[in-house]
Amino acid sequence: MNIELSEEAAEYGRQALEAFKAAGGDGLVQQAEAEPGHRAEQVAPVLAELGAWDLDARGDADELEAAAALCRSAGYWAVPYPVAERLARPADLGTDGLVVVAGTAPAGAVAGLDLRWTAVTPDGRRATAAALPPAAPPRESAFVTGLALTPLDEAGAADAALGLVLPCWTLLGMLDRAIDLAREHVLVREQFGRPLAQFQGVQFQLTDAEVERSGLEMMARYALWSGQANLPEALDDALALRLAALEAAETVFRVAHQLHGAIGFCDESPLSWISRYSQPVRRLPLGLSATRDLLARRLGRHALTGRYGDVAERVTS
């Protein structure tokens, strides 16, 4: 198995980063919060320009990898638009996007967009979903709103896996950014007559965060490959990825905030925005313990196969 992203996908991701930056960068989410009604107008043209809607994440490996790279770049700038959800749209239902839901109060960060949604539960039950009017402004809700579901079928196991994996790539991009921001901050901010980065206590925290982030990156590639290879345990791998992503996010954001000091809690610091808008991905459809619980139940008697397991070897050989 080769879980490296192709050079094309990596290059596409870099282009996307530049395109989002040119379109406003950090300003995108700030504007969207100020004028939630215009959030699609800001971002959708950039995505169209990047050919995002021509990407078939369910097609070949190249396209799936490009989709993942795009999600990651969108996360880097906290792009206020459900990029991963749109890229995960079901193949057969003619809707615009896919949201994984769980529990009695289905919700997604899809407020105020004129789009048709499909919802899928982790066990593959699909429904048509309509976004309800948001109960709170984005400042408080980060664009999360309730979904009204009309049950459809039970054919969504693959949907659920893809629908879980792509948002983890978005979150990975957010962690990339949080680490970059923390790194830049400690290099520039001086206390006691020298840059914070010169204190080993600061360096070690950042390295711990980086270890978490790179571990997550490996998991993200593996789960992508597992879904692409149609492994029977693709959904378990997607849940394991989600678990790793949520754990990594906790460490990375805790460290990034701690190293920023008080400024990290203020709107003038991009970290505050990234951290706030990372909340929906981290809470929906399942938080840390619920994800862990579901994964544990599903694994039940068998364990994760993983990169070096027998089954994986058989599939690739």
Q: Which residues bind other proteins (CB under 8 A)?
A: 103-105, 107, 135-136, 139-141, 144, 190-194, 198-202, 250, 254, 257-258, 261-262, 264-267, 272, 275-276, 279, 283-284, 287-290, 293
Binder of residue 135, out of other proteins, ligand FAD, none (CB less than 5 to 8 A by kind): other proteins
Closer CB to other proteins, residue 214 or residue 289?
A: 289
Q: Which is nearer to other proteins, 5 or 107 (CB)?
A: 107
Of 41 and 267, CB closest to ligand FAD = 267
CA–CA gap between residue 106 and residue 128 (Å, rounded): 12
Tell me how far apart the alpha carbons of residues 272 and 284 are, in angstroms, rounded to a whole number: 20
Work out which of 191, 203, 207, 214 binds ligand FAD, going by CB under 6 A.
191
**Residue 15's binding partner out of other proteins, ligand FAD, none, with CB under 5 to 8 Å set by partner kind:** none
* Stretch of residues binding ligand FAD (CB under 6 A), selected from 198-206, 212-220, 221-229, 293-301: 198-206
Binding residues for ligand FAD, total number by CB under 6 A: 11
Q: Are 306 and 210 in contact (CB under 8 A)?
A: no
CA distance 61 to 69: 12
Per-residue burial over 281-300, b = 16 or more CB atoms within 10 Å of its CB, e = otherwise: bbbbbbebeebbebbeeeee
Phi and psi at 194, nearest 5°, equal -155, 160
Please give the residues from 170 up to 189 whose contact with ligand FAD meets the rule CB under 6 A. Answer: 189
Rule CB under 6 A: is residue 308 a binding residue for ligand FAD?
Answer: no
Element containing residue 221 per DSSP (H, E): helix 200-228
**Residue 31 interacting entry, from ligand FAD, other proteins, none, C-beta within 5 to 8 Å by type:** none
> With b meaning 16 or more CB within 10 Å and e meaning fewer, what string describes 105-144?
ebbbbbbbbebebbbbbbebbbbbbebeebeeebeebbbb
Least separation in angstroms between residue 288's CB and other proteins is 5
Distance CA 155, CA 153 (A): 6
Q: Give the binding range for ligand FAD (CB under 6 A) out of 55-63, 140-148, 199-207, 294-302.
A: 199-207
Which residues in this chain contact ligand FAD in the complex, by CB under 6 A? 189, 191-192, 196, 199, 201-202, 258-259, 261-262
